[in-house]
């Protein structure tokens, strides 16, 4: 639902929010941060709202009487060290908090928060941003059809997609315990790896370390075990979106995956962006799901809903960039490797939810989905290095003159995402960023 909180003309008394490329007044994403100790004694992780270059401290705002009614209930649930309790409240609480937070931070009226700005706002650059929920479950889908096709061509050029791909949203249960916040370093994993020309496997550092550009889908409030979520209600269980880098040790993954799929090649780490961009903030960027190519099967009834097909996709531009050690030393900007869009997903997010629960599996507030690598239809949009380098058989050149097939120690991977639509304020997701440590 588009309402006054999306009005592009509204300005904030927080000066940095006006025209901010990521967090204008129209965004108001939620996350968990640790404020600097000098501004808040015994500062503990707590919920906050990003506004320009600042973070609104929900705990202090609540203590100082800035929220009322349902918004106060929501702010209390969101002010702890995770957002799980807030997510469990459902969409009504999110909307109430968004409405009052927008009014508090807007310059078009008397705001009870403005005189308290020195207490309520923290400079984001002085804070540490955490993973926003306690993630009990992390499911990684394979919904980017271009990525699936590119990988499948290396296995079987004539039949790159498995027979089930266009009938069912393929996924596997990934490792929740190793999901880390943006800016936390990633250790290059060790494991068994075997190249095709090697007689036997060896154990050692990953030689094909890769990234995967994925959409993070934050799930809630959940469902009871044994009670599937019907497709027409599935969108109600999507709280918001972010970005996730599903780091992949391709050599380990390729050797171990038959017959049961990814294991140690994936479980060593994933990086998630810190802010949950709520579904309410993303309303202006909803679009129809792209039509399936002629000849593709229509999904089975439990995965099909006309309303979801008409407005269940999102038009969000994505970028993947690399910043090497040499670039940092030379003060060079990161090199953009690819651009793609969430419209490149073959399945809607509601279809992912409906399929996940169709057997009675229960989702829990704060669960995380990865969409699967989102690659565009051409090389300029390929969202992993295994695609860019054709599994290491060719190198590509960075703006610094360096070449890569896969990631080297010291390389930093940066993901960015923005929703843009004429007549509406551009909103961003904030960066999903991490550096490889050898």
* Range in 92-96, 215-219, 255-259 with the lowest mean pLDDT: 255-259
**pLDDT at residue 42 greater than cutoff 90:** no
pLDDT of 41 > 70? The answer is no
Whether residue 434 contacts residue 421, with contact meaning beta carbons closer than 8 Å, is answered with no
Same domain, 8 and 30: yes
User: Averaged over 279-287, what is the pLDDT?
Assistant: 98
For residues 326 and 236, state if they share a domain. yes
Residues 270 and 194 in one domain: yes
Q: Which of 106, 129, 152 is the last residue of a domain?
A: 129
Helix (H, G, I), strand (E, B) or coil at 382: coil
Could you tell me the pLDDT band of residue 44, with boundaries at 50, 70 and 90? confident
When pLDDT is cut at 50, 70 and 90, the band that residue 195 belongs to is confident
Q: What is the mean pLDDT of the chain?
A: 96
Residues 187 and 125 occupy one common structural domain = no
Residue-wise DSSP of 269-284: -EEE-S-BEETTTTGG
Q: In this structure, how many other beta carbons lie within 10 angstroms of the beta carbon of residue 1?
A: 9
Residues 149 and 59 grouped into a single domain: no
User: What CATH number corresponds to the domain at position 334?
Assistant: 3.90.850.10
| Proportion of the chain above pLDDT 90, given as a percent | 94
Across 109-113, 204-208, 275-279, least confident range: 109-113
123 CB contacts (<8 Å, ≥6 apart)? 53, 54, 55
Provide the pLDDT for residue 110: 82
Q: Would you state the pLDDT for residue 290?
A: 97
Element (H, E) at 253: helix 250-256
Q: What is the pLDDT of residues 393-404, one digit of tens each?
A: 999 999 999 999
pLDDT value, residue 39 = 54
Q: Convert 392-420 to b/e letters by CB count within 10 Å (16 or more is b).
A: beeeeebebebebbbbeebbbbbbbbebe
Is 154's pLDDT higher than 70?
yes
Q: What are the pLDDT digits (tens) for 61-89?
A: 999 999 999 999 999 999 999 999 999 99
Check whether 111 has a pLDDT greater than 90: no
Are 233 and 277 part of one and the same domain? yes
Is 418 known to be catalytic? no
pLDDT above 90 for 186: yes
pLDDT tens sequence across 218-276? 999 999 999 999 999 999 999 999 999 999 999 999 999 989 999 999 999 999 999 99
Final residue in a domain of this structure, among 129, 162, 192: 129
Instruction: For residues 180-190, give the mean pLDDT.
Output: 97
DSSP state, residue 226: T
Distance CA 5, CA 99 (A): 7
Whose structure tokens read 């990521």? 22
What is the CATH number for 60? 2.30.30.230
- Say whether both 115 and 172 belong to one domain: no
Nearest 10 degrees: Cα torsion 394, 399, 402, 405:
-30
Residues 280 and 408 in one domain: yes
Domain end among 129, 149, 164: 129
Phi first, then psi, for residue 64 (nearest 5°) are -95, 10
State the chain's maximal CA–CA distance in angstroms: 74
Whether residue 300 sits in one domain with residue 201:
yes
- Residue 403 backbone class (left: φ over 0; alpha: ψ -120 to 50; beta: rest): beta
Same domain (yes/no): 199, 344: yes
- Count of domains observed in the chain: 2
202 with 119, same domain? Answer: no
Check pLDDT > 70 for residue 125: yes
Q: What is the model's pLDDT at position 269? A: 98
Residue 85 CB: number of other CB atoms within 10 A? 18
Q: What are phi and psi of 71, to 5 degrees?
A: -65, -35
Percent of the chain with pLDDT over 70: 98
Report d(CA 181, CA 202) in Å as an integer.
31
Sign of the dihedral through C-alpha 24, 28, 30, 35 = positive
Residue 59 belongs to what domain range? 4-129
Work out the angle at residue 223's Cα, subtended by the Cα atoms of residues 219 and 226, and round it to the nearest 5 degrees.
Answer: 135
Is the per-residue pLDDT at 38 higher than 60? no
The whole-number pLDDT of residue 152 equals: 94
pLDDT surpassing 90 at residue 109: no
* pTM across the whole model: 0.97
Identify whether residues 164 and 143 lie together within a single domain.
yes
Q: 6, 147, 335, 355: which is the annotated catalytic residue?
A: 147
Q: How many CB atoms lie within 10 A of CB 88?
A: 16
- The first and second tokens of residue 370, run together, are 């990865």
The rounded distance, in Å, linking the Cα atoms of 386 and 156 is: 16
């Amino acid at each position: 639902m588009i309402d006054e909180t999306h009005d592009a003309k509204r300005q904030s008394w927080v000066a940095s929010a006006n025209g901010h490329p990521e967090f204008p007044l129209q965004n108001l994403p939620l996350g968990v941060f640790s404020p600097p100790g000098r501004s808040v004694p015994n500062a503990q992780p707590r919920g906050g709202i990003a506004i320009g270059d600042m973070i609104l401290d929900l705990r202090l705002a609540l203590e100082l009487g800035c929220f009322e009614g349902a918004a106060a209930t929501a702010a209390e649930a969101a002010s702890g060290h995770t957002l799980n309790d807030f997510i469990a409240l459902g969409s009504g609480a999110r909307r109430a908090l968004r409405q009052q937070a927008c009014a508090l931070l807007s310059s078009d009226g008397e705001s009870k928060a403005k005189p308290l700005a020195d207490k309520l706002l923290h400079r984001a650059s002085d804070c540490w941003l955490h993973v926003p929920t306690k993630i009990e479950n992390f499911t990684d889908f394979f919904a980017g059809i271009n990525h699936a096709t590119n990988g499948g061509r290396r296995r079987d050029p004539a039949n790159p997609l498995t027979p089930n791909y266009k009938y069912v949203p393929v996924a596997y249960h990934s490792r929740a315990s190793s999901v880390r916040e943006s800016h936390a370093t990633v250790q290059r994993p060790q494991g068994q790896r075997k190249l095709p020309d090697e007689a036997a496997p060896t154990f050692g550092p990953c030689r094909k370390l890769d990234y995967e550009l994925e959409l993070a889908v934050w799930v809630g409030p959940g469902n009871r075990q044994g009670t599937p979520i019907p497709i027409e209600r599935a969108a109600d269980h999507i709280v918001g979106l972010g970005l996730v880098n599903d780091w992949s040790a391709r050599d380990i993954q390729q050797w171990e995956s038959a017959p049961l799929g990814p294991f140690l090649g994936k479980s060593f780490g994933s990086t998630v962006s810190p802010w949950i961009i709520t579904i309410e903030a993303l309303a202006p960027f909803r679009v129809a799901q792209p039509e399936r190519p002629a000849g593709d099967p229509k999904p089975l009834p439990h995965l099909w809903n006309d309303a979801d097909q008409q407005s269940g996709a999102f038009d969000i531009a994505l970028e993947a960039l690399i910043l090497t050690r040499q670039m940092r030393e030379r003060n060079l900007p990161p090199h953009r490797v690819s651009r793609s869009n969430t419209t490149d997903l073959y399945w809607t997010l509601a279809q992912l939810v409906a399929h996940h629960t169709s057997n009675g599996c229960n989702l829990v507030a704060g669960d995380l989905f990865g969409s699967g690598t989102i690659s565009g239809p051409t090389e300029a949009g390929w969202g992993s290095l295994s695609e860019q380098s054709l599994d290491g058989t060719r190198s590509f050149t960075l703006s610094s003159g360096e070449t890569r097939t896969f990631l080297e120690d010291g390389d930093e991977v940066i993901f960015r995402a923005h929703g843009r639509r004429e007549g509406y304020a551009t909103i961003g997701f904030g960066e999903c960023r991490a550096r490889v440590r050898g």
